Chain A
Amino acid sequence: MLADALEHLVRGIVDHPDDVRVAGKTLRRGDLLEVRVHPEDLGRVIGRGGRTARALRTVVGALATDGPVRIDVVDVDRR
């Protein structure tokens, strides 16, 4: 559910919604959601001073019911 919610939130604010991918990983220290976006949308998803990324973390954090969730934003070209 969290990955779907995050994907929806990000798709709505970018120019290339079809390039948005969210992958969930379970790490020892909690869950990680990795967001991949089109390189041109990277700045938009991060925002000035990281403002947009912070807003995404705040909203997804509020929807999370079991434990903290980390969110990483990367562009689709990065491996």
Chain B
Amino acid sequence: MSPTDTPAPEAKDLTTRLEEEGEIAADYLEELLDIADLDGDIDIDITFDRAAVEIIADDAASLKHLVGRDGEVLDALQELTRLAVQAKTGERSRLMLDIGGHRAARRAELTKIAEEAIETVRATGAELSLEPLNAFERKVVHDVVAAAGLVSDSRGVEPGRYVVVQPAGSAPAETEAVADVG
């Protein structure tokens, strides 16, 4: 191994910290599955500088009620898992939890919706409002729109908060859009 293969100290620290986050989360979730007598394996990864933990089962239907309607239970479980990590490490966690590929599938679906909206906005030159989405879903759309060189921001109040896709060169309508990371 050449010396250049050694990551910078802070990069290594981040990886170590995220691996630790993943392990704490896996322990927390594994015991929950055990108590609830649910089959499932825990997969730990690091993506986009976040710990990414997924519960996987051969029988995907068995985890369906852990996802819930519109991923409601999944979001609640992610919230608790982040708190469990924070209780052990003393630091806030931005860990992402997925169950049976739910978020991955939703991400693909939203990417398609965002791409169609981008095409429409390019063709008409007018802004386009999408259906209300949760924080994770809005983030996916904002990322796709930004990558295409257009502008987007979030309007409305939860749970009715929605993304507006605007033509390239539009000034961001509200400063709040910048703060809306989630």
Contacts and interface: CB of A to CB of B under 8 A. Distances in A.
Interface extent on B, as a size class?
20 to 34
Contact of B79 (A15, A44, A55, A63): A55
A59 interface: yes
Interface stretch (B68-76, B109-117, B172-180): B68-76
Interface in A1-22: 1, 4-5, 8-9, 12-15
Contact of B83 (A52, A54, A63): A52
A15 B87 contact: yes
Interface string B15-47: 000000000000010011001110000000000
A58 interface: yes
Nearest to B64: A62
Contacts, number: 51
Given A13-B87, A15-B87, A58-B72, A51 B79 contact: yes
B68 A13 contact: no
Contact of B35 (A1, A55, A56, A62): A1
A16 B123 CA distance: 59
Contact of B80 (A4, A12, A15, A63): A12
A12 B87 contact: yes
B65 A62 contact: yes
Interface in A33-71: 44, 51-52, 54-56, 58-59, 62-63
Given A8-B31, A13-B87, A63 B36 contact: yes
Nearest to B82: A13
B46 to A, nearest CB: 21
Interface of B: 28, 31-32, 35-37, 65-66, 68, 72-73, 75-77, 79-80, 83-84, 86-87
Interface of A: 1, 4-5, 8-9, 12-15, 44, 51-52, 54-56, 58-59, 62-63
